[in-house]
Amino acid sequence: IVGELPTGAIELREGCRDNRVVRAEISHCGAGGIRLTGGAAGTPERLRTGGNTITDNNIHHLGETFHSGVGVLSMHSDSNTISHNHIHHLYYTGISVGWVWGYGPSVSRDNRVEFNDIHDIGQGLLSDMGGVYLLGVAPGTVVRNNRIHDVDSWSYGGWGIYTDEGSTGVLIENNLVYRTKSGGFHQHYGKDNIIRNNIFALARTEQIARSRKEDHRSFTFERNIVYYREGALLGKNWDGPGFQMDHNLYFNAAGKPVVFPGGDLASWQKRGHDRGSLIADPRFTVPDRADFSLAPESPALKLGFRPLDMTRVGPRPRP
């Protein structure tokens, strides 16, 4: 599908359920690729969009006229599977799910974003984006087994995985995120998100970011590897108790100390964070060639990290 469409090449609107978009090639579009838009909370059930499958598609070179086009956009839609897609070379977000600002009622729940290959996002043109972007309350939503790399914004906001305002109840696990401008993971604010068993590598300005102090538990960050050479380890606002971090592995491959807010790891641990975490070389095979497989003696394995299998990412061969 090629064309100068202002919204998207394919759009499933209010009430569209149990549809499948499989093995399409969508390229050189004026705006975005695939768009799911349903009735928001409070609308009749017949307007609810969900249960759709977006899989094994090649979606690339989008936003050529309307630069804010998204690869796959799911707004007010539930129980969708967005998997095994190759999404690349666009100027804004790769996959976007949710779209209720803050903690208001949302029907965007139980969505699965998995096994997608997402790269060359932003390309230095726009700001405030993510390889995967989430917004609002989203219980049961899972972002896992994705490879996300080369996200580059014009100014701020070139993040790998971005839980924006009110993102709640999201599980983010087993993702490989590398070579992003503003960080591998950023939470603006939210509640009870779990970020575990991911690799966040080689971001430039900061590696992990948290914008807003909240008294409730914003997120749990555990058994992740954070590997970098430049920028801050933890950026923005790390005041207050509203997060839990433990059993992570941190390493500055430039040979410089790993610095936490307020000092070294020991002082960070005195604040109650990362008490079971380590600073050590994860022993990646060839990180400069994007081979983040682990040596058998990697200290990450002793922390409970499970090696990532990226061989299933992206579109699958036809049966």
DSSP 45: G
Signed CA dihedral, 271, 276, 281, 286: sign only: negative
Q: Is the pLDDT of residue 5 over 70?
A: no
Give 179-212 pLDDT, tens digit per residue.
999 999 999 999 999 999 999 999 999 999 999 9
pLDDT at 64: 92
pLDDT at 2: 47
Quote the CA–CA distance of 166 and 188 in Å, as a whole number.
8
Q: Is the pLDDT of residue 3 over 70?
A: no
- Contacts with 279 (C-beta within 8 Å, 6 or more apart), sequence order: 249, 250, 251, 258, 265
Q: Is the pLDDT of residue 4 over 70?
A: no
Q: Is the pLDDT of residue 143 over 90?
A: yes
How high does pLDDT run on average in the chain? 96
Q: Is the pLDDT of residue 8 over 90?
A: no
Quote the CA–CA distance of 35 and 299 in Å, as a whole number.
42
